[in-house]
Amino acid sequence: MDHWRALAPSEAVAQHLWVALKHEITYRKPTFLNDDVIATVLLEKVQGARAFYETVIRRGEEVLAEVKSSWCCVDASTLRPARLAREVIDHFFAPEEKPAQ
Q: What does the domain layout of the chain look like in residue ranges?
A: 2-94
**Which one, of 19, 16, 6, lies nearest residue 69 by Cα?**
19
The confidence score (pLDDT) of residue 27 equals 97
Q: Look at residue 79 and tell me whether its pLDDT is greater than 70.
A: yes
Q: How far apart are CA 13 and CA 7, in angstroms?
A: 9
Q: How far apart are CA 6 and CA 91, in angstroms?
A: 10
pLDDT in tens, 28-61: 999 999 999 999 999 999 999 999 999 999 999 9
Homologous superfamily (CATH) of 2-94 is Hotdog Thioesterase (3.10.129.10)
